[in-house]
Structure 1
């Protein structure tokens, strides 16, 4: 598990200790003003992209097990001026990173592997102050969804070796972040809004259509997760307890399941699930507080 800690200025790499039955710190990467630490494993090699607000984004690499990570490359210093999110995707069999840039003078950049490093393949959506990127597959083709501070989310599709604009998302102004999940053959979007209601949308074959609205004042993250056999979605909040929703198969809607806390998470920004040694863990990364780790407990209500 790789965690970004902006206030501490570092990326943490955690590994599972089978003897102690807990996560332990394996390595720490110095990354002042980091906003995202995105790992990629290629064979025995480990890469970590550290997207940073200031000082330039970097690529770290570890040639093999037992060795330490070291910075190997400065990433697109003239294009990535204020990165806000980084995602991994595969295009034509090659690994790529897309980094959403929130600077008015910067541009979201697609970085693909070429030889020993990752280099700019395409600039996207210049001048729009993008806040989030989400890679997904629709109709058997790679797509990319970008959320920005200046317009509705825009959907791009991979065509002819580059991303081309396909459409935007209707009825979705002021979206901060986007995430997707699949259930029963359908593709759904979770759109995060800090003010107003966050949105759940479903792909109808040509565009995303509104399915559900959830009150979400103060939200920066609306993260779908498949944990065990359950499709969940967690709506984080800066002002209240974060809420866990469960997808009700019969209705096709998200229903409240539980709140995370007390204590309440302090400014949650990301949730991630990892299964280890037959157990399910939920990582909650917070902007102003410590990262919390939850364990799933299943209750038998049949009696």
Structure 2
């Protein structure tokens, strides 16, 4: 162990055994410890503000020790430090924040300049060429200073490579995260976000309060605030639909039928427009709203053995039953999507595999097209595309939720995700990133991110929502949010943010 400490002013102390002391330095060769005149290193690393009581320190030699890393602000409080020697250690990372260590130094202001004059030798240190070392790799690439060769110790594909020669792609350490943005003290089954007259709204069915709560987005506060409250009986679904520049909200109830409400501009609220004929609907579970050409439809999914999933069609005066689908099968969810240029519907069921219907232009009806075998008892289904390739995301409550890919002839499974209490496997896209969020009634919900090279979704983050029932994306301006509803707790809004892990 060799340690050399230079001081600006004389200090009176007893020279440690095995060391040679002069008026301005302490030189210890072969010593097993660092003199008391210098704060002791702990755990083979430099602690924060380690030399705060040594403000007169000029030169610091930490050569040939067993230091493995240097923490951020380890050398803060050293306004006169001019030279730092750290060769011959086991350092594999220097935290980027160390560029603040000499804010008032006469020689330099930032770590980039500090290296030119102060860090003379980096030999003997094997750095991990990862995000934490990104700043050092960039400096080595850009600097014209004479610095000894520094090699990567890892990761495996970069081992032995000069840090200055690391490809730029390995230095891309910008990632994303989901952070809590707003907590809404409302329990809900879903959140339908819709746009009307340059404003943003969310329709939340709240069974416990027998209402459909309409919330409005505050563009200044960037949060949702209460706007309207549509009362009913055991409300389990609220879906918006825009027809002829008029905004409607479809409200499904377990009792006393279902209703459609229209926005009244004069009263600035939604007022009753129509009572929906529900003769064959016994237990509504989902509402799917879609257009085919110029025609507007919505489908109420029935989850009872005695009911029928029913398609309704707009005829300029209201919505009326158009077709009965999938009788007696306890349907759980429906998704409208484009299948090779043709309108299609897929229904998941408690008692049989998912069924695909295709729209027949001739008779203006959905006709049975195919089924997806070995996928019984799926509770929800969502369609999405990556690079124009069609996928389905299907949630399984206890077991494996599935991601399926359309081959041009049928859907085939490409990935399974272990599920525990999953009610939804929701796809969404922010910026150029594709995600899936898998809900859980018993633990954290898992967010997966699409890996372009592996062509799979990789587990990325986890978020906690008590008994989540839906995850709805919202993009406004340059910001992205994810609205998560809770069946038994508080609903939450998460913001999708960029994070520089270097």
- Shorter-chain TM-score range: over 0.9
SS at match of 1:216: strand
Corresponding residue to 2:352 among 119, 139, 151: 151
Asked if 2 retains the 8 angstrom alpha-carbon contact of 1:100 and 1:132, the reply is yes
Deviations 1:109-163 (A, max 9, x none): 1111012210111000011111111111111011000011110000000013100
Asked if 1 retains the 8 angstrom alpha-carbon contact of 2:214 and 2:229, the reply is yes
Partner of 1:75: 276
Partner of 1:142: 343
Asked if residue 281 in structure 1 is aligned to residue 470 in structure 2, the reply is no
Structure 1 residues 112, 194: CA separation in 2 closer, same or farther (over 3 Å shift)?
same
Equivalent runs, 1:64-213 vs 2, <5 Å: 64=265, 67-159=268-360, 160=362, 161-213=364-416
Partner of 1:231: 434
State how far apart, in whole Å, the 1-side matches of 2:265 and 2:385 are: 34
Asked if 2 retains the 8 angstrom alpha-carbon contact of 1:44 and 1:65, the reply is no
State how far apart, in whole Å, the 2-side matches of 1:184 and 1:77 are: 40
Asked if 2 retains the 8 angstrom alpha-carbon contact of 1:56 and 1:81, the reply is no
Larger RCO, structures 1/2 (Cα 8 Å, 6+ apart): 2
Equivalent runs, 1:226-265 vs 2, <5 Å: 226-260=429-463, 264-265=464-465
Structure 1 unaligned residues grouped into runs of 5+:
none
Structure 2 unaligned residues grouped into runs of 5+:
1-201
Asked if 2 retains the 8 angstrom alpha-carbon contact of 1:46 and 1:64, the reply is no
Asked if 1 retains the 8 angstrom alpha-carbon contact of 2:349 and 2:376, the reply is no
Aligned length: 299
Deviations 1:157-204 (A, max 9, x none): 001310001110122122111011100121111111012100000001
Structure 1 residues 252, 65: CA separation in 2 closer, same or farther (over 3 Å shift)?
farther
SS at match of 1:7: helix
State how far apart, in whole Å, the 1-side matches of 2:302 and 2:467 are: 21
State how far apart, in whole Å, the 2-side matches of 1:252 and 1:28 are: 44
State how far apart, in whole Å, the 2-side matches of 1:112 and 1:128 are: 22
Structure holding more strand per residue: 1
Partner of 2:491: 291
SS at match of 1:212: strand
Partner of 1:300: 500
TM-score (norm 1): 0.95
Partner of 2:240: 39
Partner of 1:54: 255
TM-score (norm 2): 0.58
SS at match of 1:79: coil
Larger mean CA deviation between 124-133 and 30-39 belongs to 30-39
State how far apart, in whole Å, the 2-side matches of 1:65 and 1:165 are: 45
Larger mean CA deviation between 32-41 and 196-205 belongs to 32-41
1:63 Cα deviation after fit: 4.5
1:254 Cα deviation after fit: 0.8
State how far apart, in whole Å, the 1-side matches of 2:245 and 2:379 are: 36
Q: CA RMSD in A?
A: 1.4
Larger mean CA deviation between 241-250 and 13-22 belongs to 13-22
Asked if 1 retains the 8 angstrom alpha-carbon contact of 2:264 and 2:271, the reply is no
Asked if 1 retains the 8 angstrom alpha-carbon contact of 2:259 and 2:276, the reply is yes
1:252 Cα deviation after fit: 1.6
Asked if 2 retains the 8 angstrom alpha-carbon contact of 1:98 and 1:111, the reply is yes
Structure 1 residues 277, 173: CA separation in 2 closer, same or farther (over 3 Å shift)?
same
State how far apart, in whole Å, the 2-side matches of 1:239 and 1:178 are: 21
Partner of 1:221: 424
1:207 Cα deviation after fit: 1.0
